[in-house]
Amino acid sequence: MGNVLFVHGGPATAVVRGPAGESVVLLSGELPEVLTEKAVAELVDLAAAILDADELELFHSCLETLRGNGMRAGRRIEVDGAVLTVYEG
């Protein structure tokens, strides 16, 4: 997994592959200040539809790291070579 991108403000919630094969999570609504345990579980369940087991484990680790450090536009974290970037659209 190279990048996982969060894009907030889109018309739907989905997990897709971008043009370069990166995983993209599109979320509708406002950018939350804090990811709750329930929100992390919901995102992992959603991502399970497209990510393989290794990607899913890295995604979950990234979310947990992001959860502890705050989720805001422009935030970029790296866990075990996986990069998660938060965008607000």
**Residue 12, C-beta contacts closer than 8 angstroms, at least 6 positions apart:** 26, 28
User: How far, in Å, CA of 77 to CA of 56, rounded?
Assistant: 16
Pairing type for strands 82-88 and 76-79 reads antiparallel
Q: Could you list the pLDDT tens digit for every one of the 89 residues in the chain?
A: 444 455 555 555 667 777 787 777 766 667 677 778 888 888 888 888 888 898 888 888 888 888 877 777 777 888 887 777 777 76
Q: Which run of H or E residues covers position 60?
A: helix 53-69
For the record, the structure tokens of 58 come out as 């890295």
Output the pTM of the full model. Answer: 0.70
